[in-house]
Structure 1
């Protein structure tokens, strides 16, 4: 922009100079008339050889030669003026472009600092600040405003962390007490059948409340970012989850097939285990007797969970990752849970700087893929063999 504006200004100046010089330098007719009439004194030296040697009685010829010489001189002068001015303009434009680039780079350096700091920010790294030094100009004011905003965000996230930690204890404790009281009442030999049925219903409600609170707490924790991070073997986490869900798969009549390759990621093992657990439970719950679940761990995508089941319309798949969103609201709430499973999966994936997506299978069910950035470290080249669980 600076160079373009300078070039336009230079072109305007060149045109003005050309017009001024063109109007100032006299043409051949005028100057020859002055020379012949003796009003202008002696002719210019460059025309002397063409004007003077002519005989005195051939004035018309002398005037013609002088006029031609002056016109040639004038044309040559204007042409040289254009060439020299054009070269000077191009050179000045190049210098202006270089100086403009250096000046803009120096002036915008604080903007790059602000941008780099903003890119490194996350819920787990809100302690970063720009702390821009320099004069109190607009960029310094912008950087200070950005630092102030980060201070407010850090205070808000810290308050939310404390709330989640306190809520985790305050909400679980009364539910655990209620469950204990119900179980004690049901263990009484004198309890009537009506009391036992009521106790079973209360236990079921209590269990669902615990799952709901646990899901909300995990969702809030994952939305805050990763507090503790480290290398995690994703394939080992998946294998552990599949072993713990073997009984559920057998009860549902679903075959679980795993294809696990060594995969190392950087993140929170507890949250990653919750991610895998939610995906596997979702694949088992929304399946059919005699169906299957295929769990794969590889490079990219890092995790893939494919299950059979009812046909899922493609237009409703994106909404399944929203909180409290279920595919079929007529299903029993006790079986489907609180509707937070895939929401937690998406939140945990984002906290690990990954991407989760889902697509319906042609024969029914879903295929959910999770892309996670990995650690490029040497792992065992041997892949775990395929393992079949369930019926």
Structure 2
């Protein structure tokens, strides 16, 4: 039995059982009372017995017996018809009680269904929405108001978190720039010590990693905010070709076999900067977390149902439960928090945030043969003439 509508069925059966129980009790009481009334002879209706020994008395007795037999037969027929009519009425009452019970149950539970549907529509990207249930101040209204209060607290918490990430990332750039400038000044001195040069090189490398991490934080905060003023027509296929061209040396260094099928129909509308970063992150993830002499398959196409970008790689067999967490910040398949060189652990989480901000869908699947499949689906857009170029507003 499906769980959907279980409460409705429960209320329906409860209402029907109560209604039928009351009807059965009423019928039993009516039957008992009518039986007592029919079986008790009315006073004065039975003739007085005639003196015994006379023919008239015998005839009178026979008439009395015949009348009693007829009366008993009539009573039996009437009781039989009454029982049949009662059973028919009981069946009709059962059907009506089930129908009435279902209507009442659906009517009572309608506010709860509306609350459930509205709550399902609300996610981290639209926490500003509220249930706004109207009606009398009953338990359902109290539940809806409680959910609205919870959503308001969640919205404030998410907004504070995003502001903190964005502000902290922005403010940290100043001391990082100061440290980098100090290193350059120290290294630029005449005849710097070899130890100082080595230390400066290591510090500069770590500064680059921190700067890369801050860039990821800022981009993640912007994607999660979801307000873009630079929405343009963008080709996912063109972005994929640009990302592959930029990473061609790394692909050659790992001897990766590349199979790219990027069509011209993968058009969507959104932030060109964010979508470019999304595609680059997916491509970077496929290269960075790939084995030497491995392979990469990239497909970009689209139709009326959406613009799609699919990136597949070979490799070890992965657990789907762990792959599902890759869309969260700092989640990696390895046990260590430090990933490959240059990896901040924010790559796929940024992809997830950008896709969600554009109203798209990201699906991460562990391939049964080994490796990972990343599929991005965004709303399709139709370019108009020569203006339909990547990054050109329409």
TM-score (norm 1): 0.74
In structure 1, the residue matched to 2:323 is: 318
In structure 2, the residue matched to 1:3 is: 16
In structure 2, the residue matched to 1:370 is: 375
Q: 1:283 aligns with which of 276, 286, 291?
A: 286
Question: Take 2:107 and 2:319, find their aligned partners in 1: how far apart are those partners?
Answer: 51
Which structure 1 residue ranges, 5 or more long, are not aligned? 40-53, 381-391
Any idea what SS the aligned residue of 2:39 has?
coil
Give the 3 Å change call, closer, same or farther, for CA 361–115 of structure 1 in structure 2.
Answer: closer
Question: Take 1:226 and 1:69, find their aligned partners in 2: how far apart are those partners?
Answer: 91
In structure 2, the residue matched to 1:21 is: 34
In structure 2, the residue matched to 1:214 is: 215
RMSD over equivalenced CA pairs, Å: 3.9
TM-score (norm 2): 0.74
Any idea what SS the aligned residue of 2:141 has?
helix
Where does 1:339-354 land on structure 2 (aligned, <5 Å)?
Answer: 339-349=345-355, 352=359, 354=361
Question: Take 2:88 and 2:32, find their aligned partners in 1: how far apart are those partners?
Answer: 18
In structure 2, the residue matched to 1:263 is: 266
Give the 3 Å change call, closer, same or farther, for CA 304–349 of structure 1 in structure 2.
Answer: same
Any idea what SS the aligned residue of 2:149 has?
helix
Asked if 2 retains the 8 angstrom alpha-carbon contact of 1:219 and 1:344, the reply is: yes
Asked if 2 retains the 8 angstrom alpha-carbon contact of 1:237 and 1:273, the reply is: yes
Any idea what SS the aligned residue of 1:10 has?
helix
Offset, 1:26: 0.6
Question: Take 1:139 and 1:174, find their aligned partners in 2: how far apart are those partners?
Answer: 53
Give the 3 Å change call, closer, same or farther, for CA 282–126 of structure 1 in structure 2.
Answer: closer
In structure 1, the residue matched to 2:255 is: 253
Offset, 1:302: 2.8
Give the 3 Å change call, closer, same or farther, for CA 232–8 of structure 1 in structure 2.
Answer: farther
Any idea what SS the aligned residue of 1:335 has?
coil
In structure 2, the residue matched to 1:274 is: 277
Any idea what SS the aligned residue of 2:58 has?
coil
Asked if 2 retains the 8 angstrom alpha-carbon contact of 1:301 and 1:369, the reply is: no
Q: 1:35 aligns with which of 40, 46, 63?
A: 46
Where does 1:1-391 land on structure 2 (aligned, <5 Å)?
Answer: 1=12, 2-26=15-39, 35=46, 37=48, 57-58=58-59, 61-92=62-93, 96=97, 100-188=101-189, 190-219=191-220, 222=223, 224=224, 226-228=226-228, 232-261=234-263, 262-265=265-268, 269-298=272-301, 302-309=308-315, 311-314=316-319, 317-318=322-323, 321=326, 323-328=329-334, 333=339, 335=341, 337-349=343-355, 352=359, 354-360=361-367, 362=369, 366-372=371-377, 374-375=379-380
Question: What whole-Å deviation, never above 9, does each CA across 1:238-274 have from its counterpart, x for those lacking one?
Answer: 2332233233323443343321232345665544433
Which structure 2 residue ranges, 5 or more long, are not aligned? 1-11, 385-394
